Amino acid sequence: MQLESDRILTSSGKADLMCSIKDTLFPAAVKSIFGAAFLQCHGIAQLQKAFFAFEEGFELAASPVPHLFQPSFCKARQTLLQAFRVSWAAGHFGDTVVGLLLQEVPELHGIAPHVLLALLWASLANTIPATFWALAFLLLPDNQEHKQQILLVLQSMPAQASHACLADARAQQQTSPDGRLPAAIGSSEAVAVGTATAAPGFDAATHAKVAEAKGPATSEAAAPALDTLSTPPDARGPYSNDGLVTQACDRSSLLAGCVAEAVRVRAPGVAVRMATCDLAMPLAPGQCVHISKGDMLAVSPYESHHDPRFFQPHPARYDPTRGGLRCPGSSLHEVPGISGIAGLVFGGGRYRCPGRFFAEMEVALTVAFFLTHFEMQLVSCQDSDGYHGSPQALDSTKQHKPMGSAFPESGDPHGLLPRAETRRQVGIRWPKAPCEVTCKRVQ
C-alpha cells in the first residue's frame, strides 16, 4: 500500500478518514487482483473516479427504476466496461488472480468484461466501508485498550512469528547495511503477499485459549514490548511486514475480532433471496409458513445482529471478544453456515459469500497498516442533520445512551462517529458524513 502524504494529509495534519481509506485501499486491491498492467493502462485516477460513481448508483440500478434516470451510473459503467474490454483484448490480466480464474472457466470468456466488473465491485464495495468502521471504532476513546493491545501484538510479532517468518526477518536484518530490520510496509506488495492466505474470521473461544496460553499482557515476558509501545511514536522500532500479514490472517487475533465486530454492528439492512423449491418453514410447535418456489424472501442482518437472543450479552455494545451467533435453545457453539462474530454479514448456508475470507483479511491488513503507520485521533464529525460530535466534548461521567435515543448507532454510545447511511440497505453501511481525524505519520 503506497501512501502519498499529500493525498492523505492536509497542511493542517487533518484528513477525512473515508477518503484516506479509499485512496489507500482502491489502488492496492486493484493492483493485487487485476495486476499492475491494468492500472498502468487506464490510470488509477480515472478508474477510481468511475468505480465510486458506479458503486454509488449500484443499488438503485438493481431496482425497477430505469437507468435513464441514472446518467452518472451509466457513464461510469461504460467507462469501466471499456477499460476491461481493452485490457482483456491486450492480455493484461495474464497470471493475475482474475486471469487465472477466467482461465479455469472458458465459458465466461464471451462476457469477460462484465465478469471483471462484477469482481471489481465485489472486491471493494463492502471492503471499503468495513475498513472505515473497523478503524473508526478503534479510534473511539472507549476502545483505546483494544487498539493498544493490537499495537502491542503487532510490534512484538518479530519475536512471536513462525520460524519461517523469523528466519526471513533475520535474513533481512543481516543484509541491511546498518544491521536493523527494513522500514515497515510501504507498498502495495504487502497486500499482494496477503492474498495468498485468508482467514475465516475471529473465533472468541480460540482467542481466549491463545491469550491464556500466552499469559497476561503484563507478564515479565511481555514487559519489553510494553515498554516499547509506551515510547514516543518517533522512537518506536519498525513493524514486521510478516507480522502485519500474519495477524491479518490469524482467526484467533484481536485484530480479526475487531473487524468482525465492526461489520456486525454495521451489517446490511436487508438480504434478499429467492426460494428454489416449495417448503414449509416451522415457526412454533404445530405452526409453519408455506413458501412457494420463486417467492422472494428477505431477512435483516442488522436486526438479527441486535437481537439479544442471537448475540449475548448486550448486542448493541462494541465487543470484539464476544462469541459468535447462537440460536436460542441450541447447544451448538456456533450455527452451521453462519459462524463467527460477523454473523449474517456474508450471508449463510451453502452459498455464503466465497470471498469472505479474503475480504476479512484485506480489511484487517489495511487497519493494521493505518494503525502502525499513523498516529490518528478523531476530531469531529457532522451529519446532514446538523449533529456535531467531538471526543473533546465527551463527558465520561455520563452513562451510555440507549438505542433509540439521540444517538441510536450501536457501538458508538457517545455519538462521536458519523451515522450510517440508511438510504442504502444492501451491503455494509457507508458513513453518512465525513469523519475528520488528525493524522501524523509514524517515522
The pTM assigned to this predicted structure is 0.76
- Dihedral angle of Cα 170, 172, 176, 178, to the nearest 10 degrees: -30
The fraction of the chain above a pLDDT of 90, given in percent, is 39
Task: Give residue-wise pLDDT tens across range 90-134.
Answer: 999 999 999 999 999 999 999 999 999 999 999 999 999 999 999
Output the nine-digit C-alpha cell for 5: 502524504
Alpha-carbon gap, residue 417 to 401, rounded angstroms: 14
Task: Give residue-wise pLDDT tens across range 254-284.
Answer: 999 999 999 988 988 888 888 899 989 887 7
Q: What is the pLDDT of residue 104?
A: 94
As a whole number of Å, the CA-based R_g of the chain is 23
pLDDT classification of 39: cutoffs 50, 70, 90: very high
Beta carbons within 8 Å of 8's beta carbon, 6+ residues apart: 15, 20, 23, 24, 374, 439
Output the nine-digit C-alpha cell for 231: 515510547
Q: What is the pLDDT of residue 145?
A: 94
Q: Apex CA 52: angle with CA 46 and CA 58, to 5°?
A: 130
